[in-house]
Amino acid sequence: MKTSLRRELLDHGATVVGFADLRGFLSGEISHLGRAVSIGVDRRLNEDTLSLLVKLEKRAVRFLKARGHRTLAIPPDSDRRKGTFISKLYSLFNHKMAATSAGLGWIGKNGLLINIDHGPRLSLGTVLTDAPIRPDIPMEYGLCGGCILCTEHCPSKAITGAEWSRSAPFVELVRLSACRSHKATKRATDGKPNCGLCINICPYGRKEANADCGMRNAE
Amino acid sequence: MATEEKTKEIKAKLRNAVIQYDEDASKEAAQQALNEGVDANDAIFNGLVSGMEEVGRLFEAQEYFVPEMLMCADALYAGLDILKPHVKQLDLGVKGSVVIGTVEGDVHDIGKNIVKMMFDVAGFTVYDLGRDVPLDKFVQEQMKTDSDLVCLSAMMTTTMTGMKKVIDDLRAKNPNVKIMLGGAPVSQDVADKYGADGYAKDASNALKDAINMVSSLKKLKDEAEAKKKAK
């Protein structure tokens, strides 16, 4: 079941798919849905990525429901979904936690999920289920090592430089207030709220670092 | 007008869409119902609501939990949004308007919203005051809209005491108004002590009570129709 679901999602546009066992890590309301299918799509955060992720989630939901399992799809932009009943529960859940548990990557110093091949350039969606899927091996530590590119390049000096590990999930990696105030200033000056330097600078999965840099220059 | 068999099939689809918490299927079936000319009232009550009744039963049997129930409610709303504009005004013989809200200091409104949904379905005009509603607002709104049912919700013992004040004020202004309480700390004793007319034990029972209410409304509707025929 696991292999065919992974195959199906990858065939329809998913970049990475992982499975996690989250029993004991979920809050009470959703604790009966102890397994997670974590789906990552490698693209910039735009409408296409979101709609593709939603489609993939629906596909996973159909797949699991057809086999008699329960599902709860958490949309990639769960914080912006309002007005439905189930959206009240979205805040109980964290996509990155599911993704690290599914071994898709670790939490980098910039507070983002870092995948070893795609870096911090994945958009995540998760489908919770009660299907007894065998989980993938979770990530326990970050692989950022001595790299401090994002720490140095952060314009608001928001990145503390602390390292994530599964045993210390609540260490402050990014001073969110500093990051947010920088974004607000940026929005006020040039109208674009996004900063994204810590994404662009990350050497993991960066296109320039790979052999295809010639292609990028040609563009 | 659709054939009886087709109508039955569509209603079963609506029912299953709600039970299976499938929003897309619910929308699709609702659209199909309109295309085939199925009566919207029939589709809502014998399709969507009948599905929600089953969900209530599954919830009570601890077969379904909170997330499933919420998703079922979303699926019901998805279908309802499509069907509602085509509903002919129900002749229930009761004035269907209700004021509902979570009392001051309390921001927990999931249960309240589910109860509100059932009133919506039943064709009541719902004046939803939202959450953390100042106590005077209930009385004001009731006077303004002349509703005959007021529903109060609270999730904490600290905010629950506010209900007593609302009930006293309402009774002083309008002795005929019906008052229903709901929320985790509320019990039948509390409801009696505060002088409320109705009570729902928690979110699941609020749902069940709301369903019972809709069911009894259905009965009222049937009776009203039977009377009309007799005339």
Domain spans in chain B, listed from the N-terminal domain onward:
4-88, 97-207
| Average pLDDT over every residue of A47-65 | 91
- State which residue of chain B sits closest to A70, comparing Cα positions: B68
Least confident of A71-75, A159-163, B1-5, B29-33: B1-5
Helix or strand or coil: residue A119?
strand
Given a contact cutoff of 8 angstroms between Cβ atoms, the answer to whether A124 and A113 are in contact is: yes
Nearest to A86 among B24, B65, B71 (CB): B71
Q: Which candidate, B98, B97, B124, B102, places its Cα nearest to that of B113?
A: B102
Q: What is the model's pLDDT at position A218?
A: 37
For residue B102, list chain A residues with Cβ-Cβ distance below 8 A. Answer: none
Helix or strand or coil: residue A107?
strand
Residue pairs between chains A and B whose CB atoms are closer than 8 Å: 35
- In which band, very low, low, confident or very high, does the pLDDT at A216 lie, cut at 50, 70 and 90? very low
Q: What is the pLDDT of residues A162-210, one digit of tens each?
A: 999 988 878 899 998 998 888 888 888 877 777 888 888 999 987 654 4
**Does B229 score more than 80 pLDDT?**
no
Q: What is the model's pLDDT at position A38?
A: 96
Q: What is the model's pLDDT at position B175?
A: 76
**Does B93 score more than 90 pLDDT?**
no
For residue A86, list chain B residues with Cβ-Cβ distance below 8 A. Answer: 67, 70-71, 74
**Does B161 score more than 80 pLDDT?**
yes
**Does A219 score more than 60 pLDDT?**
no
**Does A137 score more than 80 pLDDT?**
yes
- How close is the nearest chain A Cα to the Cα of B67, in Å? 6
- In which band, very low, low, confident or very high, does the pLDDT at A47 lie, cut at 50, 70 and 90? low
- In which band, very low, low, confident or very high, does the pLDDT at B32 lie, cut at 50, 70 and 90? very high
For B67-105, b/e burial (b = at least 16 CB within 10 A) is bbbbbbbbbbbbbbebbeeeeeebebeeebbbbbbbbbb
* β-sheet bridge partners, residue A35: A21, A129
**Does B121 score more than 80 pLDDT?**
no
- How close is the nearest chain B Cα to the Cα of A24, in Å? 17
Neighbours of A207 (CB within 10 A): 12
| Average pLDDT over every residue of B92-113 | 77
Asked whether the beta carbons of residue B71 and residue A72 sit closer than 8 angstroms, the reply is yes
- State which residue of chain A sits closest to B111, comparing Cα positions: A85
Q: What is the model's pLDDT at position A164?
A: 92
- In which band, very low, low, confident or very high, does the pLDDT at A136 lie, cut at 50, 70 and 90? very high
Q: What is the pLDDT of residues A61-104, one digit of tens each?
A: 999 999 999 999 999 888 888 778 888 889 889 999 999 999 99
| Average pLDDT over every residue of B108-127 | 78
**Does B95 score more than 60 pLDDT?**
no
Q: Which pair of tokens denotes residue B150?
A: 């007021």
- How close is the nearest chain A Cα to the Cα of B78, in Å? 10
- In which band, very low, low, confident or very high, does the pLDDT at B80 lie, cut at 50, 70 and 90? confident
Give the pTM. 0.76
Asked whether the beta carbons of residue A86 and residue B113 sit closer than 8 angstroms, the reply is no
**Does B1 score more than 80 pLDDT?**
no
| Average pLDDT over every residue of B98-114 | 84
Sheet of B125-128, strands arranged across: B125-128, B97-102, B149-153, B178-182, B198-200
Residue B87 contacts A where some CB pair is shorter than 8 Å: no
Quick one: what percent of chain B has pLDDT higher than 90?
23
| Average pLDDT over every residue of B34-50 | 87
Asked whether the beta carbons of residue A70 and residue B113 sit closer than 8 angstroms, the reply is no
Q: What is the model's pLDDT at position A169?
A: 79
Q: What is the model's pLDDT at position B9?
A: 93
Asked whether the beta carbons of residue B113 and residue A85 sit closer than 8 angstroms, the reply is yes
Given a contact cutoff of 8 angstroms between Cβ atoms, the answer to whether B25 and B13 are in contact is: yes
Q: Which fold has domain B4-88?
A: 1.10.1240
Q: What is the model's pLDDT at position A127?
A: 95
| Average pLDDT over every residue of B185-212 | 73
| pLDDT, mean over chain A | 87
Nearest to A65 among B20, B67, B114 (CB): B20
- In which band, very low, low, confident or very high, does the pLDDT at B185 lie, cut at 50, 70 and 90? confident
Q: What is the model's pLDDT at position A19?
A: 96
What are the C-alpha distances in Å from A34 to residues A11, A100, B67, B192, B223? Answer: 25, 15, 13, 41, 48
For residue B65, list chain A residues with Cβ-Cβ distance below 8 A. Answer: 29, 32
- How close is the nearest chain B Cα to the Cα of A2, in Å? 22
Q: What angle do CA A78, A81, A85 make, to 5 degrees?
A: 105
Q: Which fold has domain B97-207?
A: Rossmann fold (3.40.50)
| Average pLDDT over every residue of A114-124 | 92
What are the C-alpha distances in Å from B201 to residues A101, A123, A137, B190? Answer: 38, 41, 43, 11
Torsion angle (degrees, nearest 10) of CA B207, A75, B28, B205: 0
Domains B4-88 and B97-207 share a fold: no
For residue A68, list chain B residues with Cβ-Cβ distance below 8 A. Answer: none
Least confident of B54-58, B92-96, B164-168: B92-96
Residue B74 contacts A where some CB pair is shorter than 8 Å: yes
Interface test with A, best of B20, B59, B62, B68 (most A CBs within 10 A): B68
Q: Which residues, 6+ apart, have CB-to-CB distance to B39 below 8 Å?
A: none
Residue A91 contacts B where some CB pair is shorter than 8 Å: no
- State which residue of chain B sits closest to A65, comparing Cα positions: B20
Given a contact cutoff of 8 angstroms between Cβ atoms, the answer to whether B97 and B125 are in contact is: yes
Q: Which candidate, B9, B74, B71, places its Cα nearest to that of B43?
A: B9
**Does B192 score more than 60 pLDDT?**
yes
- How close is the nearest chain A Cα to the Cα of B149, in Å? 23
d(CA A115, CA A126): 16
**Which residue, chain included where needed, has tokens 């503390």?**
A160
Q: What is the model's pLDDT at position A214?
A: 38
Asked whether the beta carbons of residue A86 and residue B74 sit closer than 8 angstroms, the reply is yes
| Average pLDDT over every residue of A20-33 | 89
Q: Who has greater pLDDT, B116 or B138? A: B138
Q: What is the model's pLDDT at position B4?
A: 86
- In which band, very low, low, confident or very high, does the pLDDT at B201 lie, cut at 50, 70 and 90? low
